[in-house]
Every structure is written in structure tokens, then in C-alpha cells.
Amino acid sequence: MKVFIFSFLIFLSTSFAQAHDHSETICSENFSDVCLHLGIHQKLNTTDAGSFLVHFLVDETQSTNIQNLTVALWMDMGGGHGHGSAPVKVTPKGPGKYLVTDAYFVMGGNWLVKVGFDYQGSHQEIAVPLVIE
């Protein structure tokens, strides 16, 4: 019985973690206090439209300084070649949080989610790596 309960608890904690994964946190090269990660609440794949949350890890008062957000999906294929994806839809969801939908990762491999934005009068880009299976 103890083994069953222990196994069940591990299953629950693993399921929860997989359902609410985050990418690694990446900071701006010019503003070390502006960082972000992606909140991934569904498994991203090559067949379905994906969605994820861009979450800026800044003081809530500073999140209003983030403007003109863009998100692009990019796959570096080596040899100076790359492959983008169709434009995504970006919807503000609160201070420093943006829902990205219609994210099509058209093939498996190493992708970059390129988040562009203006901050304190300067255009910034943070590229977050993702592996799509």
C-alpha cells in the first residue's frame, strides 16, 4: 500500500510539472533587470498550433515600460540557413504577461522564440531556445 501511495504521489507531481513547464530564464544583454521565460502549459509539437505565455520577470511598475512586443519563431538549420514560421498572435494578459497563440513549429529540432520589444527607448530582443519533438 505504501508503494502505491508513493507511486501515485510521484505521478501527480510529475504530471503537474509537465503541464506547467517553464523555459529557461533569459535576460536582456542591455538591461540585466529585464528577464523573461516562457510558460508552457501544453506540449508543443510539429502537428498542432501551440500556445505559451511570455512572462517578463520585472518589477510590476517596470512592466509598463515594455512596449511594441513582437514574437517570432525561428529555426537555425546551420550553414547560414534558417526557417521561420507563420506569424503568431500575441494577446496581453496582465502586467508583463503575453499569451502567444497560433505558434506553428513546422518541424522538430532546436527553435528560438525571438521576443522583440522596446524598453526605455531602446529596441531589445531576447531569444529563448526550445526543443520541439
Model pTM greater than 0.75?
yes
Q: 1 in a domain, yes or no? A: no
Give the DSSP per-residue string, 3-54: HHHHHHHHHHHHHHHHHTEE---EE-SS-TT-EEEEEE-S---SSS-EEEEE
Q: Which domain holds residue 43?
A: 20-132
Amino acid at 3: V
Predicted confidence (pLDDT) per residue in 82-119, tens digit: 778 889 999 999 999 999 999 999 999 999 999 999 99
Q: 50 in a domain, yes or no? A: yes
Q: 7 in a domain, yes or no? A: no
The enclosing H or E element of 117 equals strand 109-119
Q: 4 in a domain, yes or no? A: no
| CB-CB contact of 60 with 95 (8 Å) | yes
Ranges of residues in the chain with a pLDDT under 50 are 1-19
Q: 15 in a domain, yes or no? A: no
Q: Exposed, middle or buried, 35 (CB in 10 Å: 0-12/13-18/19+)?
A: middle
CATH of the domain at 115: 2.60.40
